[in-house]
Structure 1
Amino acid sequence: MLPQEATNEGYEPLMPADADPVTPALDQQIEAACNRIAPVWPLDRFVAVNPFHGLVDQRFEEAAATLRRIADARMYMPRSWYHEQLQAGRITDDDLCEAACLCGSGLTPQQLRDAAAAERQGPAGGVPLLTALVDELDADDWSSFVVERISHHCAAYFDMGQATWKRPWEGMSLYAAWRRFASLDYSLTMMGQDGMRARVKALPESPRACIASAIRRLGIPETAALDYMHAALMDIGGWAAWTRLLRWEAELNGGSDDTIVELLAIRLAWDMLLYEHKSTPAIRPRWREICARLGRGDTGAGVGGDRTATGGNDAEVEHVLLTALEQGYQRRLIDQLAAGGDGKTPETRPAVQAAFCIDVRSEIIRRAFETVCPKAQTLGFAGFFGVPIEHVPLGAVEPRSHMPVLLTPTYQVCSALLDEHGQGADADEEEEALATQRRRTGILKSWKAFKMGASSCFSFVEAAGLLLYAPKIIADSFGWSRPVAAPDDLHLDEATERRVGPTLDTPHHGPCAHHHEHESIGIPEADRVPLAEGILKAMSMTDNFARLVLLVGHGSTVVNNPHATGLDCGACGGMTGEASARVGAALLNDPQVRKGLVTRGIEIPADTWFIGAQHDTCTDAVRLYDTHRLPAGYAEELAELKSWLKQAGELTRLQRAARLGLESQSLRAVTANVQHRSRDWAQVRPEWALAGCAAFIAAPRARTRGLDLGGRTFLHDYHWQQDEGYGVLELIMTAPMVVAGWINLQYYGSTTDNRRFGSGNKVLHNVVGGAIGVLEGNAGDLRVGLPMQSLHDGKQWMHEPVRLSVFLEAPQQAIDDIIARHDLVRQMLDNGWLHLFRMDDDGGMHRRVPGAGWQQLSQEALPAAA
């Protein structure tokens, strides 16, 4: 049904609020549109997320077609880029043949080569919104104006402390606050539409009723309503992702949140208001044509006319080329695995054991550590080390989750000032430390608030800004500054700060104990033994313990980088791994825990000591925590361990040097350069983080030890023979494997279409709302994903956009059973978001082909794991 405005010169007044009931069908479409959006996490816990998460129920190639049809978004690289890979030999004719077979395509290698060489640029697509049509026929850019006004309102509404003025709509919903705000917004007067402000007040009070009214009055056919709402949300995709996070977190805690529905109502209300106020004889028939096309499922070529929809052979070519590129990488990796690692496992007691995060950056330093200390044993495990905590730093009252965002913390632990035995310090001593921290932190906060205040914006900066800042500007610009403090710098002297750490117990004093006096703090003693048992079994570490065992988390020390937490540990919810490593070490050093473990068949020798540590992935230095508590008899071993770690860091930096453009420099110069990058305020590429990530391997280290995997592989130690009931395998496949897949797809989407799924040029970033996210420039939509500088070095892509290839050494039936029990895992595998391979004990390699089961790749056996 077309709106009344489509046939009259003027417009009719808005109907009463209840005139457009929300039918069950429309309600389902609203939910479907909202759930197609993936969440985005704030800057202070920026973690990787699959930007296509809302479409994992579709096959990869179907999702690509959906996004191209809805928002003209790309999920494949340009054909010219695939042509470059063909020319470079990264894709062979055999890869093309195998890929065509896997994709069910009849295209020949020559046809694919010809297609890659002939770049085809079709006209822009996407579901046309009403604002786009008005733009075409009006002198003003209404599309940008609407996005800017919505973004302005959302930034103010969701502000996390950046704004100094109190919000006038405290306690109101997003939609209700917008109605009040828009009715007073004089920017509409500047656009020549002063009367539109009064019209906002007549909108339905219910967001869903507003959506129903907009769909009816715009004349959107029922069959096209879902696509139109999806396109409307994609038009403000950054804020849609933010509001989707609110729903995600509410659902994780058993609740619900409709803020994203309110955002959709706001966006559709703008279209409805514009149609009423800008409708002309030229616009109305064009809009009727567009609605008719949408009803037939044809988005056409935007608002400009018909075109052949992207699909068919075009989409087939791109999907086969992507699969061929992946096939080439998989072939090379399988060849490495076939050649086998050194197959060595410690037959005697290891000189030291070090459990690193599965992060691809850890693959390099693990290999380097094993090189300088061949008698060492390294392990790979998710960087939260199986400790399900949220952590409250010293002096803080709000906890931060240190777990993958797919999971919910079980315990809350607090940092406190500890004595030499790891017990809580005297109340007066801790209060003195807290007073020092509050004083120093308060000075910094007051100075920051003054700098941002209205009174100091012009006159103060002009009179005193350069005078006060000149020394710092010069020092920062030339790299003369002292090493930058960590993000969680406590502003205490070094001796006192060394005594601060997380405790397993409930603090008896301090702000943490006072603020949470009615909540359970710490890890209850009754839970500690089963928790420790689960951690050790999950790490396949149940015997042959070394005297020193490291739990090595990771973080990155950089400055002037809004996305800095994206360089930290994704398994720790965007935090560093420090708290998790130190809590895990404290738990496993607890004498009572060790006694309890003996009754469960795990005996940790009395001379084994666990040490929490952190790998700085920017400088490749490893910091050890709480070593002052080590007994005196470990002094020589500790000194030797520090020497090994220093050498391993040097080897790691040398391998990373090539990607940083430092391959021609000496070791000393490389070390100085990476340290300079970590504190250079103008450095847009302090490290490459997880760029290049392409594979996930869960198998004994003997499979990969000694192999140079190029820092592209997540390595998780796993011995299925020790996994009774396959609970550890289930944990791996439902958490680390999925998180690794999310990281891979975030890098993938940010590379293939940075405009939609990335955050553009980080030089232009401005932080919004304190820590919500960034704008590129001073207006526009909230940006999601990774900046270009994290993916491209100015000359070439540093990330190769391929889907993650997962290799598991485990029985087929156990893998199949876990897939059958978990919808998300099944969707990601069956719909081609991940590739899955299985390794047999005797070395056989099998590929899981969606819809066709397991297929053996070769009769040649891989070397059996030791």
Structure 2
Amino acid sequence: MGKSNYTSTDTLYNKVTHASRVIVPLSPISVFAARSPWANLEDKTFDEIAQWLKDARKVDMYPPRMVILQAHQQGEIDDVILERRLQQWLDDTTLTIPRMAAEQYGRNALKLQSLSKATDLNKQLDTLVAQYKGKDSTNATRQHSTRLVPLKSTYIVDQNNEKLIDTVDYHMIKWCKLYLDDAQSGWTMPNRDKGLFYAWQQLIVHDPALSKQQRVRLKDLPKDASELMDTVLTRLEIAEADIQTYLENHLLSLPGWAGMMLWHDEQHDKAHDLVFSYLAIRLAMEWAIVAPYLPVTEPEDLSHSNEKHLKSHIQSWLEWGGCSVEDWQTMSEHEQQNYIAFSRQFNNQLCRKLWLEAWEASYNQQLKEMLVPEQRHDAQTNVSDVQMQNHTEVQMAFCIDVRSEPFRKQIESAGPFETIGLAGFFGLPIEKLELGSKHGHPSLPVMNQPQHQIKEYTHEREPNAFQQRKHILESVTYTFKKMKQNVLPSLLLPELSGPWLTIQMFTRSFVPKRVGMGMHKFYARWLRKPEDTALTLDYQTYQQAHHPHHLHLKHDLPVGFTNTEKVSYALQALKLMDLTSDFAPLVVMCGHGSQSANNPYAASLDCGACGGAASGFNAKVLAQLCNLPEVRIGLREEGINIPETTIFAAAEHQTSVDELTWTYVPELMEAAQAAFERIEAALPEISYRANQKRLAQLPNNNLTTRDPIHEVHRLTNDWSEIRPEWGLAKNAAFIIGQRTLTQNSDLAGRAFLHNYHWQHDEDGQILANIIAGPALVAQWINLQYYASTVAPHYYGSGSKTTQSVTAGIGVMQGNASDLLTGLPWQSVMSADDKMYHSPIRLLIVIQAPKAFIKRLLENDPVFKQKVENGWVRLASVDEHNQWEDWS
């Protein structure tokens, strides 16, 4: 067997734990939650990770040429700022060639044009290369990089000319699908309940996709995962110092399936048990497949490749640097080497890095001019005067989601209505269990764990009609699925269901709006909830009456809130939204969700702050809390006096149709009733104008002949529609400040807006909470859209038209690909070759004095690291309306 590398299993577990930083947890698509693919790598700079990924996986983190040039043509990148970035880079670089030559080369290289392929030039270049090689005995064309320890299966091809790494991936995809299947397949993986490694060991020796010799090799391996991993690493001759890197490369080979294993480990509080098993299996499969080819030697750089690189460097100086052939030939050997070294450094990747920084600086400048133009102080005063003259009748708190911003603007222009921004989970760390649901859903940001369970229930003692009807519907669906999966019933099923499904297919294809809305109304009536539903807000009363042990889900969550917790959460939410005085007669908590048909990514269009769920439930919980007498009394003791005439209600903003649906409207007093009727009367026109503006940004929509309301409902009900809405595409900024800072600006639905007043936050704790929670969610959303745009083949999920849902947990391209981790192509591009989302890093703007920003950075090393390492950008607007860049 050979000598073992390790005597301690803990050592291997530590290696796996550290290696798993290169991936992030991937949640099932039904609860899709945005994640930055580089969330665990922020101790390195953005540029360092970009170089590492380029070397390790040939993944590029900078925007591609096509996207950059389109942005430039659309006026998103200022030429003056690009030139400034070039000059700054030259200032920061130790030059060994004349500055003028470097500037000329840099400007031409930044045009991102390809080098000429002229035949006559090639002959001259061959001569220059031959002359250069004659002078260069050190072979200066070789590029050195950190040892990356590629997988042994990377360089080997079998008799069918297929790479063995692809064969390893194929087998891993198969075993992952079998183990992680969420009741989609007809047969469950045997021994699944005993864990992935045990189940795989029992089945692998019978796998017909492997040769007899491969099965024998796997059968003889140790039965313990850590011993197997140790044995295989020894047989593959992986040095101890290289093991973590080797494991990282295995995880990066299929980051989607590995990420799903990591997510399951987190959900079940396991210390990388599934990830460990996954890696042990991958190593075993790799060794069994590559064993006949061992030992494997990495191919060295071929001289032909070096010659090709050298030729391109010399040619770039002839075409971009203004050198003639004669100029080059008269240079000394040392000068030529310096010129070659500069062209290596000023490569295509660096060019696109400078373009990205210029793009971000251009947006920074545009936003600055909108938020703090000349006479801004007078403008803010005028806005305040108008608000004082027109008494606010309705205050509406929306999620910070960028889709809320245009809708809020329409609301504010429609009457004496004020809008407020905060994270859509409304500061409530809850797991919701809606009436008729069997499973709870954590309704809060994915980096946090729920602390309470809130259940919707009915006062009826006997099972109500709603639950009976829902049970019938679930039974019919379950029966239909089981008939499809069983041999004999599946033969009869087409005869029984064919006519109905044929009619459904034709009607949903040709009249999607009418059929979709008809089905929606049918289900709404069929699954109509009782009017007396309530929420388990009162911890003690509900527990005494309903046997709480039946309500607890994982982690044994307490049901409801104590009186102290009720006051605490209401107080925290009101402070976060900066609503502690001057209450309107009607205050509406507005969650949001989305509606679309035949869309595996439906959850990605719901509330990002609620872990991929509609946030109307959280809005309803907070509104009810704020109406409770005991909460009002507790808030008064904390200095927040809510008038008796102020009533809290709840609604949900449907982002795909820009409509507001009321989810909780208690009995209203006279002033609140008048305010409610006024906002109700204004909502149709608000929706019309919001949809009209939003639809103009969707491709292939001719609004001159179509009614916006009709069109949005067609889009949401059309099961062939690949782009029901844009989601959070084009997100670019997170603005933390008073609404007066932003309400006169057209932010084009690109900014997350969070209310904040620094004068109400003496110790800076409110700002710290916003940065640690909502701002982090916004950063993850931003970087997921960024990654899906710049590297769609690795971090995106390809075209929706060729996706297939697998195992009930995610999507693949075809029937054997990685589990895709990011957004579909249609979510970031308006056409195959036309950009829509602008891949720039999030700009966080904080309206507060400089002392607040300094204190924030000093007290929050994690956020400071994000800023310093280039994962977010930071700016502030101080009390004198002065803009300050911090990154």
1:427 aligned partner: 461
1:402-430: CA deviation from partner (whole Å, max 9, x where unpaired): 1011222221100112xxxxxxx2323x5
Distance 2:883 2:687 in 1: 34
2:272 aligned partner: 257
Match of 2:298 among 266, 283, 289: 289
Distance 1:51 1:530 in 2: 34
Who is 2:606 aligned against? Answer: 568
Task: Sort the Cα spacing of 1:719 and 1:635 in 2 relative to 1 into closer, same or farther, 3 A.
Answer: closer
CA-CA distance at 1:24 after TM superposition: 7.5
Of 799, 811, 829, which residue of structure 2 is paired with 1:792? 829
Q: 1:57 aligns with which of 38, 43, 50?
A: 43
Equivalent residue number for residue 297 of structure 1: none
Distance 1:210 1:120 in 2: 51
Using the TM superposition, give the Cα deviation of residue 267 of structure 1 relative to its aligned residue in structure 2, in angstroms: 1.8
The residue number in structure 2 matching 1:395 is: 436
Q: Which runs of 5+ in 1 are unaligned?
A: 1-13, 294-299, 302-306, 418-424, 850-866
The answer on 1:322 being equivalent to 2:322 is no
Aligned to 1:591: 629
Quick check: 2:5–2:230 contact (8 Å CA) kept in 1?
Answer: no
Matching residue of 1:8: none
Q: 1:634-713, aligned counterparts within 5 Å?
A: 634-661=672-699, 664-666=702-704, 669-713=707-751
Partner of 2:98: none
Q: 1:364 to 1:461 in 2, by over 3 A?
A: same
Task: Supply the distance in 1 between the matched residues of 2:728 and 2:65 (Cα, whole angstroms).
Answer: 25
- Say which SS state the counterpart of residue 659 (structure 1) adopts: coil
CA contact (8 A) 1:384 1:571 kept: yes
1:446 aligns with 2:479: yes
Q: Once the 2 structures are TM-superposed, how far is the Cα of residue 590 of structure 1 from its aligned partner?
A: 0.8
Task: Give me the whole-angstrom Cα distance separating, in 2, the residues matched to 1:394 and 1:120.
Answer: 64
Q: Is the 8 A contact 1:685 1:789 kept in 2?
A: yes
Q: Letter of the aligned partner of 2:245 in structure 1?
A: D
Shift of 1:561: 0.8
Residue in structure 2 matching 1:775, options 783, 787, 812 = 812
> For residue 586 of structure 2, what is the aligned residue in structure 1?
548
Conserved in 1, the CA contact under 8 Å of 2:176 and 2:257? yes
- Going from structure 1 to structure 2, the CA distance change for 1:467 and 1:711 (only over 3 Å counts) comes to same
Task: For 2:768 and 2:830, locate their aligned partners in 1 and report how far apart those are by CA, in whole Å.
Answer: 38
Q: CA deviation at 1:490?
A: 8.2
Over 3 Å counting, the alpha-carbon distance change for 1:485 and 1:213 in structure 2 is farther
Find out whether 1:467 has 2:499 as its counterpart: yes
**Aligned equivalent of 1:358:** 400
Change (3 A) 1:516 1:248: closer
Q: Is the 8 A contact 1:43 1:562 kept in 2?
A: yes
Contact 1:440 1:491 in 2 (8 A): no
For 1:129, the equivalent position in structure 2 comes to: 151
Q: Secondary structure at the match of 2:175?
A: helix
Cα shift at 1:503: 3.6
Q: Which one of the candidate residues 194, 205, 213 is aligned to 2:231? A: 213
Aligned to 1:274: 289
Q: Which structure 2 residues correspond to residues 325-336 of structure 1 after superposition, within 5 A? A: 325-336=359-370
Partner of 2:181: 159
Structure number with greater Rg is 2
Q: Which residue of 1 aligns with 2:63?
A: 77
Q: Hey, what's the Cα distance between the residues in 1 that align with 2:204 and 2:501?
A: 40
Q: 2:34 maps to what in 1? A: 48
Alignment correspondent of 1:408 = 449
* Cα drift, residue 668 of structure 1: 5.8
Structure 2 residue aligned with 1:338: 372
Task: Work out the number of aligned pairs and report it.
Answer: 803
Residue 590 of structure 1 aligns with an amino acid whose one-letter code is L
- Is residue 90 of structure 1 aligned with residue 76 of structure 2? yes
| Equivalences for residues 131-280 of structure 1 within 5 A | 131-135=153-157, 138-188=160-210, 193-249=211-267, 256-279=271-294
Task: Rate the CA distance shift 1:580–1:88 in 2: closer, same or farther, 3 A.
Answer: closer
In the TM superposition, residue 491 of structure 1 has moved relative to its aligned partner by 6.5
Instruction: Provide the residue aligned with 2:413 in structure 1.
Output: 371
Provide the rounded CA distance (Å) in 1 between the counterparts of 2:6 and 2:643. 72
Q: TM-score, normalised by structure 1?
A: 0.86
Q: One-letter code of the match for 1:117?
A: L
The one-letter code of the counterpart of 1:129 is L
Q: 1:102 to 1:503 in 2, by over 3 A?
A: farther
Residues 225-261 of structure 1, C-alpha deviation per residue, up to 9 Å, x if partnerless? 33332222111111111122234445xx6x5232112
Q: Which moved more, 1:715-724 or 1:462-471?
A: 462-471
SS, match of residue 716 in structure 1: strand
Q: Structure 1's 494 and 246: CA in aligned 2 closer, same or farther, altered over 3 A?
A: closer
Matches of 2:267 and 2:520, distance apart in 1: 28
- Residue 393 of structure 1 contacts residue 414 of structure 1 at CA under 8 Å; is this kept in 2? yes
Kindly indicate whether the alpha-carbon contact (under 8 Å) linking 1:21 and 1:209 is maintained by their aligned counterparts in 2. no
Matched residues in 2 for 1:93 and 1:446: separation? Answer: 63
Q: What residue is the counterpart of 2:792 in the other structure? A: 754
Residue aligned with 1:204, SS? coil
Amino acid at match of 1:721: Q
CA distance, structure 2, for counterparts of residue 172 and residue 391 of structure 1:
30
Letter in 1 for 2:873: H
Separation of aligned partners in 1, 2:266 and 2:856: 24
Aligned to 1:10: none
| 2:516 equivalent to 1:482 | yes
- Matches of 1:426 and 1:466, distance apart in 2: 40
Measure the CA separation in 1 of the matches of 2:76 and 2:26.
33
Report the AA paired with residue 813 of structure 2: E
* Contact 1:486 1:557 (C-alpha < 8 Å) held by counterparts: no
Confirm or deny: 8 A CA contact 2:645 2:669 kept in the other structure: no
Cα deviation, 1:379-414, whole Å, max 9, x if unaligned, reads 110001112211111123432111011222221100
Aligned position for 1:721 = 759
> Aligned residue for 1:422?
none
**Secondary structure of 1:813's partner?**
helix
Which residue identity does 1:724 align to in structure 2? E
Q: State the SS of the aligned residue for 1:413.
A: strand
- Cα distance per residue 1:665-722 (max 9 Å; x no partner): 2596221111111111111100000010001100100000121101010010100111
What letter matches 2:298 in structure 1? E
| Structure 1 residues 839 and 667: CA distance shift in structure 2, 3 A | farther
CA distance in 2, matches of 1:123, 1:136: 30
Tell me if 1:514 matches 2:550.
yes
Q: In 2, distance between residues paired with 1:60 and 1:119? A: 26
- Does the Cα contact within 8 Å between 1:757 and 1:785 map onto a contact in 2? yes
Superposition deviation, residue 23 in structure 1: 8.2
Q: Greater CA deviation, 577-586 or 506-515?
A: 506-515
C-alpha distance in 2, partners of 1:512/1:681?
Answer: 41
Counterpart check, 1:582 vs 2:591: no
Distance 1:494 1:335, change over 3 A: same
TM-score, with length taken from structure 2: 0.84
Q: What amino acid is aligned across from residue 327 of structure 1 in structure 2?
A: A
| Residue identity in the other structure for 1:184 | H
Structure 1 stretch 151-160 or stretch 356-365: which is displaced more? 151-160
Cα deviation digits, residues 13-52 of structure 1 (max 9, x gap): x459x67545877655433221221121111210110011
Q: Which moved more, 1:776-785 or 1:540-549?
A: 776-785
Match of 2:137 in 1: none
Which amino acid is 1:802 matched to? I
Residue 549 of structure 1 and its aligned partner are, at CA, apart by: 0.9
